[in-house]
Structures are given as C-alpha cells and as structure tokens.
A and B are shown apart, each in its own frame.
Chain A
Amino acid sequence: MNIVLHELKAYRKSIIIWACSMTLLAVLYIFLFKGLGHDIENFKAFLNNMPDVIKKSFNIFIDSISTLEGFYSFVFSFVVLCGAIQAMNLGTAIVSKEMRDRTADFLMTKPVSRCYIMTSKLIAAFSALVMTNIIYLGLTVSAAVALVGTFNLKVFFMISVTMFFVQLIFMALGVLISVMAGRIKSVISVSLSTVFGFYILGSLGSFLGEEKVRYFSPFRYFDTAYIIKHAAYEVSFVVIGIVFIIAAIAGSYLVYLKKDIHVA
C-alpha cells in the first residue's frame, strides 16, 4: 500500500492537469453546440459539402451532428487522443522512471518482492486513470446537463466511458514497452510516437475504408456512430481489447520478474 500511495502522490498534479485540460476541450465544444443553437442545420449543410474522406477521418457523422451526442463525438476523438497519451505516459513511466532516475536500487532492495512492486505500481496507474475519468466524466456530464438539458444521457455516457477502456489498452502497452526496453530516456517521446502512430493508422484505415485496419488501432475499437445508433458496443472489439490488456500485463510481469536491474 505504501508504494501505491507514494506513486499516487507523485502523479497527483499530472492527473489534475490532464483531466482538466480534457474536460476543458469537451466543455468548450458543448458551449459551441449551445451557441450554434438553431444554426446547427446550416452547419450540417456546410459539413455535408465536405469530402467524405475528411468527414470519416474526423469522426463526423452527418446524421447525428445535430444532436449533442453526435456533435460531442467529433471532439471526443481528440479527447481520447489526449487520454491515450496520458495513459501511455503513465504505463511507460511506472517502470522506466525508476530506471532513469536510478531509484530502482532503493526500491528493489527493500523487503518486497518484484511482483508486489509491479502490482502496486499497476494499481497506482489504474487508480490514476480512474480518477482522471471520474473528474472528466463528472465535469463534462454536468456541463452538458446544465447547458443543453435534453439529450441522450445514456449514449453520451457510453461514448465518454470508452476513453477509459482505450486508456487501459495504452497503459498496458506502455508497461510492456518499458519493461522490455533497457532505459528509456524520454517517456514522452516514446508515448507520443506510439500513440500518434496508432492514431494515424486508425485514420488511414477509415480513409481507405478498410475495415480490417480497425483491429490494429485501439482508437477505432469504439465507433461512436455505432454506439449512437445501437446504444451498445461492438463485442468483438471489446474482447480483443481485454485480451490484449491481459496479455500485455501478464507479459510485463514475466519480463519484470526475470530482469536484471542495472544502474550504470
């Protein structure tokens, strides 16, 4: 428990900053939606004239753009992008930070097993993500309720929660990369390049209209248009996500338990 608390204390500021900036982004759009008011139909017509490619890659769905859920799903793809970077940072940092700052010696000569250390750090990262999502969801949903009033709360909620799931995937990926790599000098460059890589891959997939690409980019696991239409998730993608998370975490444990810890 002491490690979990120590880690969370270290993440405190970053959790608040990330959660608030993502909230700000979303709330800004809700204001925009409110401001557009009845002009939304004109806006719809304007968007309709845009090429399909752009609409697809920016997650714009004309049918639903006049509803808050539809309008929100446009900005939400950027919120998820931020969330993914935050999660990947967290995942990569929990192991590599100790290596980079050479504090691994301190921690690992204490009377705790490596398994315990890893579990504590995962719990801390998981809690950090939960807190981020609670802040984001709480503020965004209340802003939406206060400003707009009538909209499909369930769908709005379902869309927002997918961020947590995408974050878990990237966190697991980050942990796996950080235990496999030697010393990572800059966490942010690793996580940015990975996250943007997947984001571009996902956009490229929808560009080309290639359905199979969706399986390779967590950003496309949750199609907001599908959620709005069916008020449900696509099971196959959820399963793939869960399988990946479990595999990555299990693999990380295996590598970490056998790893030599070097300082120099």
Chain B
Amino acid sequence: MNVIEIKNLTKYYGKSRGIVDVSFNVEEGEIFGFIGPNGAGKSTTIRTLLSLIYPTSGSATIFGKDCIKFAPEIAKEVGYLPSEVFYYDKMKVIDLLKYAASFYKKDCSKRIKELAEIMDLDLKKRIDDLSFGNKKKVGIVQGLLHEPKLIILDEPTSGLDPLMQQKFFDLLLEENKKGATILLSSHVLSEVQRLCSRVAIIKDGKIIRLEKISDLTEHNYKKFKIEMKEEISKDYFELGGINNLEIKGNKVSFLFKGNINLMIKKLSDVEITNILIEEPSLEEIFIHYYEKEA
C-alpha cells in the first residue's frame, strides 16, 4: 500500500518555478529519501503535502486521502520536522509541548518524557534561551510526541551534533520498526544513504531519478583509486562506463559502471603501485547526475 501518492504535482509561485510534474509514491513502512540541491523543490513538495501551500496543478494523497481536502484529518497521523524550527519564544519547552499535544486527542505526556530523555532536552527552559540545536530537539520531540504513522522530515539534521544525530537516527529507525513510514528530504547524501531504502532525486523542480539505494550503490558503481608508476594520459581511460575521471600526476580516480573484468584487464597493462576499489558514496554518484543535467 502507498502511504503517499504524488501525481503530476506542479507549483508555480507567480511565474517562478517551484516544482514541475513531480510524481512518486512512498510505500507503507519504508524510509524514503528525497534528495536534491538547495532550491530544487524539496520543501515546495513537502509543504504541498502538508497543505501549507496549494498546488498549481496535479494532486497528492496521503493515506489514500487528498492532502488538501482532508488536511486536518491527515495531520492527526503525521509528524513534521522542518529544517528550521520556530516556536513561541516566551513559552517554556514543556508548555509548548503540552500545547502541541493538546491538538491530538490522546495523552502524550508519557511519550514527551521519554523523548525528552532520549534527546537530552531540558523541559523547564524557555524557548528563547535555547540554542539552535536545542530548539531542533524541541522540534523532534514535538514532531514525534503523538506517535505518528507518517513522519515527514525536511533537512532534519542541521544544527544537531553527531552524537545527537546518531540518537535521532536510532529513534527514527525504532519508529520505523514500529511501523511508521518516513519521508526524509536532505542534501546530505550520507544520511540518506544510511537510512533510506529508496530515493527520489529532484533537480530544478523535476524528479530526475527514482531508485533503490541498493541498486545505486552496490550493483552499479565501483570507485577506483589508482597510483601508477608513471604519469598516464587521459586517453588511456577512454572507455565506456567511466565517470568523474580525475588525473593528478600519477594518481587516478574514477567511478566505473560496467563489467569489472574489462577494467581489470585494462589495468593489468600498466604498472600499478597502489590500488583501492570501494563502494562510492551517494555523494559521488549524484554529483555526476547533477553535473550532467546542468
């Protein structure tokens, strides 16, 4: 079953582009990554799903219901964490969380305590006394306190230190295990790589690719780093399937997609002093996509 279905969603702000013809589905129980550079349309898509902005054309459903028409009903089961969090400055953290909880018709006080403990958040402080990272923690607790079935995260990790990021990811994985579906937008590819099973890549308002993470990393690309005895000309690597070729003196690095045997044979013809073959990070794969499309 699809938790989110987006069909030909288009949004123009006046004449300037937001997103064009975006379509993809997020299945129940998966962690779905949504990736693209700044200004590509990630937030526009997410804000439309949350019915904060209205689409110019196209439609989207969440839990099978139209996300604009049934927004309040859908919101009962959705937790949202924006990239920058803003709350009523003069409130205490606990009062804000209680206010947030008052919108859901269930008792959330126990969950608030649990989450605050995990995220190491002081509930008695005033919001305007909190650092950016601590405000973010309030956002995390606030987004998860009603145990939502769908969690939407818009560049969630900015401002969190690595330790907190780890705790936060563990929390998300736990929620996911309990059955929550997660949509995670990011431009930090490594975090998407760690969490997500599938990913949509958006650029200039259009979805340019929709893939399984495993397909992207395991089956397609190998990263080669080679040191040669002598300098070698670029022409030597005029071969199908090579991307991001970089030659610095006698050091060569590139991504290779294709029959590995061909590459090994090719390399056996030259004198090699050192070689490293590894899984490329998503970053390296995507940079190639971005550049190609630009």
- Residue ranges of A at the interface with B (Cβ–Cβ < 8 Å): 2, 6, 10, 101-106, 108-113, 116, 258, 260-263
Interface size on B, residues (CB 8 A): 28
- Cβ contact within 8 Å between B86 and A106: yes
Tell yes or no: B113 within 8 A of A by CB: no
Using known A-B contacts A260-B52, A263-B84, determine if residue A106 contacts B75 with beta carbons closer than 8 Å. no
With CB as the reference atom, state the residue of chain A lying closest to B88: A103
Tell yes or no: B257 within 8 A of A by CB: no
- Cβ contact within 8 Å between B102 and A2: yes
- Cβ contact within 8 Å between B100 and A110: yes
- Cβ contact within 8 Å between A261 and B72: no
- Cβ contact within 8 Å between B71 and A261: no
Q: How far, in angstroms, from A263 to B44 measured CA to CA in the complex? A: 11
- Cβ contact within 8 Å between B86 and A102: yes
Q: How far, in angstroms, from A108 to B75 measured CA to CA in the complex? A: 9
Q: Which 5 A-B pairs rank lowest in CB-CB distance, beginning with the nearest?
A: A102-B86, A111-B75, A260-B53, A110-B103, A2-B102
- Cβ contact within 8 Å between A112 and B88: no
Task: For B87, list chain A residues within 8 Å (CB).
Answer: 103, 106
- Cβ contact within 8 Å between A111 and B88: no
- Cβ contact within 8 Å between B54 and A109: no
A105: shortest Cβ distance to chain B, in Å?
Answer: 6
- Cβ contact within 8 Å between B53 and A262: yes
Task: For B89, list chain A residues within 8 Å (CB).
Answer: 101
- Cβ contact within 8 Å between B72 and A113: yes
- Cβ contact within 8 Å between B47 and A103: no
Task: Kindly identify which residue among B53, B74, B90 contacts A261, using a CB–CB cutoff of 8 Å.
Answer: B53
Q: How far, in angstroms, from A253 to B89 measured CA to CA in the complex? A: 27
- Cβ contact within 8 Å between B54 and A263: no
With CB as the reference atom, state the residue of chain B lying closest to A260: B53
Task: For A112, list chain B residues within 8 Å (CB).
Answer: 72, 75, 103
Tell yes or no: B161 within 8 A of A by CB: no
Task: For B71, list chain A residues within 8 Å (CB).
Answer: 113
A107: shortest Cβ distance to chain B, in Å?
Answer: 9
Q: How far, in angstroms, from A263 to B50 measured CA to CA in the complex? A: 13
Q: How far, in angstroms, from A262 to B44 measured CA to CA in the complex? A: 10
Task: Kindly identify which residue among B73, B86, B99 contacts A6, using a CB–CB cutoff of 8 Å.
Answer: B99
B143: shortest Cβ distance to chain A, in Å?
Answer: 9
